[in-house]
Chains A and B, each alone.
Chain A
Amino acid sequence: MRNRAMGQVDQERTVSAVVNGTPREFTVPARRLLSDALRHDLGLTGTHVGCEHGVCGACTVLLDGVPVRSCLVLAVQVQGAAVTTVEGLARSDHQGGEVLHPVQEAFRECHALQCGFCTPGFLMTIAAGLEARDPAQPVTDDEVEDMVGGNLCRCTGYANIKKAVHHAAATIREATR
């Protein structure tokens, strides 16, 4: 990686990235998708893989803070970047435990998951979507539609997921008042 020749073509690379706040290093073939590197090389199996071609959103993670499909990013491309997976969403309570993110709390409260396969992708997309907006303004149905429209769920029918977005937005609004 370091001192590589100009324009060198590699079949394999060693990548360093900050994953969920911790510096990690892993060696992968060039074709390794970020989703597979997270699951198989780093053991972070919270990121789920549904379609592997960008349609379902189950594999969504944050790359330098913004949501992306991890099946549509090569692992070698995250050299030097920060990646956050669903495992990194909860915050430490500084007593050895964790506090769920308001979106995770809202999913539990609103019964927004059934089998849970799609859930990590929804959580990451919605958490980033709520983060990117002014928390003082109530979230509109249109914004909610935009936040969840790119993720597929075969169980819930989406109604409770949308309810959870409103619930989480309200919690965040309360907390920032």
Chain B
Amino acid sequence: MKPAPFGYADPRTLAEALEVLGREGEGAKVLAGGQSLLPLLSMRLAAPTTLVDINRVAGLDSIESGPDGVRVGALVRHARLLDDAAAAGVQPLLARATASVAHPAIRNRGTTVGSIAHADPSGEMTAVLALTGGSVTVATPAGRSAVGWQDFFVGPLETSVHGPAVVVDAFFPALAQRSGTAFAELSRRRGDYAVCGAGAVVTLDADRRVSAARTAYISVGLVPQVHDLTEAVAGRPVDTVDWAAAGALARTLVDPDTDLHASADYRRLLVGVLTERTLAAAALEATGRTP
């Protein structure tokens, strides 16, 4: 189908964008890559009165990688983050998870920040923001503020941000010392939304014993959540850990739904399998980063 009629503005500055959003009120929506919003409009699941296209707003397209982490601007496309070696060096989960976001043609246009603002619990980057302990910067006419991931995600396709606001960037903290990451998912076709996916971070102590093991899942639950599985594996030397124990613990912590593609039971099974796999892979990487 076709979208219902709407008005269109393409401001050149953030101030101007916020001004139009404020002036147009409730019916106005930010348009970034359009890879989630335009399907909703064409399916008539949303009918905003005004689209405020931020694609021509200056200063939103940088990736800043530093010792503390990676700051990804609102206009950075998935494809660009995927190829950014500096960002992958600081936080390897970024490229790893982005590789599973949609197909190349969609990654060329869709933005990382847009997928976080869209708050789809099937979106890889929502889980990555949570697992890395990240935050977003929200600009409103009153100024800018940092909002931590826990305060940002409220429900499926729902965030705590209301009224005239633009998420100007997302910040992903750097991977800690002696730590490794992994991401894996099962989808019906390459690039499709995952039936279930998992990201993992494992940290070792100086003696190469597991000191922390955390995971986050996609297509499981209503909002991203971080699960601390350390108790199942804590203190074990990295080469003798029974990762299946962590997988078993994870299965008891999640509450997946049944839908057209998979039953809740099958998803819970996948949580166990993907937990075991990603933790093992993350631990291997952590070993390489432990002198």
Binding site for B on A (CB under 8 A): 6-11, 13, 29-31, 33, 36, 52-54, 57, 60, 63, 66-69, 71-74, 76-77, 125, 129, 145-147, 149-150
Contacts and interface: CB of A to CB of B under 8 A. Distances in A.
A30 B7 contact: yes
B266 interface: no
Interface string B25-48: 000000100110011011100000
B38 A9 contact: no
Interface stretch (B99-107, B117-125, B128-136, B148-156): B99-107
B7 A11 contact: yes
A161 to B, nearest CB: 14
B228 interface: no
A6 B34 contact: no
Contacts of A36: 2
Contacts of A129: 104
Contacts of A29: 5
A125 B105 CA distance: 7
B9 A150 contact: no
Given A10-B7, A30-B6, A149 B191 contact: yes
A35 B8 CA distance: 18
B50 interface: yes
**Which 3 A-B residue pairs are closest in the complex by CB-CB distance?**
A150-B103, A30-B8, A149-B190
B53 to A, nearest CB: 6
Nearest to B34: A72
Contacts, number: 111
Contacts of B17: 7
A63 B51 CA distance: 21
Contacts of A73: 34, 38, 109
16 contacts: A7-B19, A9-B7, A9-B8, A10-B8, A13-B8, A52-B1, A53-B43, A54-B39, A57-B105, A63-B109, A67-B104, A67-B105, A72-B39, A74-B51, A77-B34, A146-B104
B105 A74 contact: no
Contacts of A8: 9
A54 B106 contact: yes
Given A13-B8, A31-B4, A31-B6, 9 more contacts: A9-B8, A52-B2, A63-B109, A72-B34, A72-B38, A72-B106, A77-B55, A129-B104, A150-B103
B190 A7 contact: no
A67 B5 contact: no
Residue of B39, B42, B43, B105 with highest tally of chain A CB at under 10 A: B105
Nearest to A59: B105
B11 interface: yes
A63 B102 CA distance: 18
Contacts of B9: 7-10
B189 interface: yes
A72 B35 contact: yes
Given A6-B16, A7-B17, A54-B39, A69 B109 contact: yes
A11 B20 CA distance: 15
B8 A150 contact: no
B50 A9 contact: yes
B3 interface: yes
Given A57-B103, A69-B105, A125-B104, A9 B34 contact: no
B108 interface: yes
B61 interface: no
Given A7-B9, A67-B104, A68-B108, A52 B189 contact: no
Contact of B38 (A6, A63, A67, A74): A74
A60 B105 CA distance: 8
Given A9-B50, A67-B105, A73-B109, A31 B2 contact: yes
Nearest to B190: A149
B158 interface: no
Contacts of B53: 74, 77
A146 B106 CA distance: 12
B24 interface: yes
Residue of A52, A71, A74, A76 with highest tally of chain B CB at under 10 A: A74
B3 A150 contact: no
B30 to A, nearest CB: 13
A47 B53 CA distance: 25
Contact of A7 (B5, B11, B51, B189): B11
